[in-house]
Chains A and B, each alone.
Chain A
Amino acid sequence: AQKITQTQPGMFVQEKEAVTLDCTYDTSDQSYGLFWYKQPSSGEMIFLIYQGSYDEQNATEGRYSLNFQKARKSANLVISASQLGDSAMYFCAMSSGGYQKVTFGTGTKLQVIP
C-alpha cells in the first residue's frame, strides 16, 4: 500500500525567508511520481511541482524546488523568498501502481508573516 506522511500540520515563515515543507512516502513500486499542490483559502487545487522516481536531479519551478532523497523516501518542498500569497495549505501526493492511483498527505498549513 502507498502512503504519504506530512508531519507538520502548520508552519509560520517570515516574508522573504525560505521554508521547507516535509513529505515522506512509502511505496513498494519502483516507478512513481511525487507532486506538490497548493490550496489557497479559496479552495482550488493548484499544481506546483513534480518529481519522478528515476529523476536524478531535483525538480525546480520558479521559487519552488523539491528536495528529493530517494533512499530516505522523502520529497520536501522548498519555497524560497516567501510571499504573503504563499499562505495556503500544501499537499504532497504520489502516483504509483499500475492503475495510477494518486494518494495525498494530510497537508501543511503555511502562514507567511509580514
Chain B
Amino acid sequence: NAGVTQTPKFRVLKTGQSMTLLCAQDMNHEYMYWYRQDPGMGLRLIHYSVGEGTTAKGEVPDGYNVSRLKKQNFLLGLESAAPSQTSVYFCASRAGGYNQPQHFGDGTRLSIL
C-alpha cells in the first residue's frame, strides 16, 4: 500500500525560484492537508482541501498556493521562494468524520538559499 506519497523528498532552491510539491494518496480520502514543520513550532497548517476542486486557507497560507484538480492529488506551489520557507513539508489525507486520523506522507525537506 502506497498510502500518501510526497514528491520530491529533498529540494534546494534559490530565492525567487518557483516549484511545486506533489502529494498523491490512493485511499480515496476526501480531505487533504499541507503542513510545514519548523523546530519548536509543531506542524502549522498551510492549506487544506475538503474535496476535489476545493481548497481553503490554514494558519500560514501566505506565499503558497494549492490546487486539487483530481481527488487523489494535492499540489502545493511556491511562486517565489523565500528563505523563510525553508522547512519540512508534510502532506496528509483523511476520510470524513471527526474520528478519522490523518495519514501522512514522509515529508519533503526544502531548503531555500
Contact = CB atoms under 8 A, between A and B. Distances in A.
Interface string A20-60: 00000000000111010100000111010010110000000
Contacts of B96: 100
A9 B100 CA distance: 27
Chain A interface mostly: strand
A43 B99 contact: no
A100 B43 contact: no
Interface stretch (A65-73, A76-84, A101-109): A101-109
Interface size range of chain A in the complex = 20 to 34
Contact of A44 (B40, B45, B99, B104): B104
A99 B50 contact: yes
Contacts of A95: 98, 100
Interface of B: 31, 33, 35, 40-45, 48, 50, 56, 58-59, 88, 90, 92, 94, 96, 98-104, 106-107
Interface of A: 6, 9, 31-33, 35, 37, 43-45, 47, 50, 52-53, 91, 93, 95-96, 99-107
